[in-house]
Amino acid sequence: MFSEAAQLAIFPGAALAISAGAVLLLARFAPTLGLIDVPGGRKAHGQSVPLVGGLAIFLALLGVAWLMGIAPGAGYFLFALSIVIAAGCWDDVREISPRLKFAIQIAASSIMIWGAGIELRSVGDLLGWRPIGLWIFAVPLTIFAVVGVVNAVNMMDGLDGLAGSIALIAFAWFAAVSWSSGLQLQFVTALIFCGAIAGFLLFNLRFPWQPRARVFLGDAGSLMIGFALGWYAIDLTQGPAGSFPPIAALWVVLVPLADCVSLMARRLRAGRSPFVADNHHIHHYLMAIGFTHSQTVAILVGLSALCGAVGYFGWKLGLPEAALFWPFFFGYFTYHAWITRAWKRLDREHEKQHRSATLAAEGAGKAIPLA
């Protein structure tokens, strides 16, 4: 239908245009739809922001898939995404319980497993002995993996442009894998996602002419993108055409996964619910030690691109899967130990500063508000 060179321009270009147009249109109706993020609590923005980014990305994906005639081949994928984004919009308008959100994510994962026939049957030859099959655990571990990626991306959506940029990088790597593996449908769909996310980022990233994000992804967007990345990570690594190792796919989404798993482990160790939000993500730490918003986003996006390169080129160079697994394994635990100690040290410093300020104010006969 189109040459590969034409696909590289037409599919993402059309998605970018539709996504950007949809953002502008939906933002006007966001207050009527109830898709508005109101300042307060842990939120740093000072004014209400439309939560229409995810919806715009999805409309661009649907529009280009239909216009280019690939929608029927991606039917199960689009159907599952529609369920996830509907739940996300519901949560953006009227907050729903984590239990219900998990149930909906499991239902969407079930479509992937029993509709599209995509499941995590093996985690590959991680130890250098033989491929490790999952047998009767394939279905529950598939659901666990997809839900894990969904919530990792959702938790990374804490700074303007961060989650969207990391997702764009991941889809670009998955597009490269799909092209190298001869998976035309997956290649084209990933290109469309890249373009749609880029159209959203025009209004979500900070630029000299745009000091703050004009729209947010919302839960609809972060949950949908996370689900799509989870689907890709499994689809590209399983089945007859899936030569991409599962451990290489994990490298592509390493940054949000490491942040999510480490943070939930620290919350559990502190006796708190792993699902109660706080300000102890990696991006919060980088900003707390002096990096600006833009520098923090650039560092994490660059790191994500580098991790994706490790997975992709490790695969292309034919490295043993164990050679990708052990750096991943020890790298995560090194990061977890470092960030745990770093936050403890920073929290102690903040507590000491607050105590000193309180004593100084009391000595001067003044009272200061609690931080």
Give pLDDT tens digits for 107-156. Answer: 999 999 999 999 999 999 999 889 999 999 999 999 999 999 999 999 99
Answer whether residue 77 is part of any domain: yes
Answer whether residue 7 is part of any domain: no
Over residues 68-93, mean pLDDT: 93
* Angle (CA) 316 320 321, round 5°: 95
Q: Where are the alpha helices (DSSP H) in the chain?
A: 4-33, 53-67, 75-93, 98-110, 138-156, 162-181, 184-204, 218-235, 246-252, 254-269, 282-288, 293-316, 321-363
Count up the domains in the chain and report the number.
1
Domain of 117 in residue numbering reads as 14-363
Q: Which two tokens stand for residue 295?
A: 């520098």
Answer whether residue 23 is part of any domain: yes
Answer whether residue 2 is part of any domain: no
Global model pTM greater than 0.85? yes
The confidence band for 371, taking pLDDT boundaries of 50, 70 and 90, is: very low
pLDDT at 370: 45
Class of residue 32 by CB neighbours under 10 A (exposed 0-12, middle 13-18, buried 19+): exposed
The confidence band for 54, taking pLDDT boundaries of 50, 70 and 90, is: very high
The confidence band for 196, taking pLDDT boundaries of 50, 70 and 90, is: very high
Q: Which of 173-187, 240-254, 303-317 shows the lowest per-residue confidence on average (mean pLDDT)?
A: 240-254
> CA–CA separation, 85 vs 87, rounded Å?
5
pLDDT above 90 for 56:
yes
Answer whether residue 5 is part of any domain: no
Answer whether residue 6 is part of any domain: no
Answer whether residue 349 is part of any domain: yes
> CA–CA separation, 135 vs 138, rounded Å?
6
For CA atoms 288, 291, 292, 293, the dihedral sign is negative
If DSSP codes are grouped into helix, strand and coil, which group holds residue 50?
strand
Answer whether residue 44 is part of any domain: yes
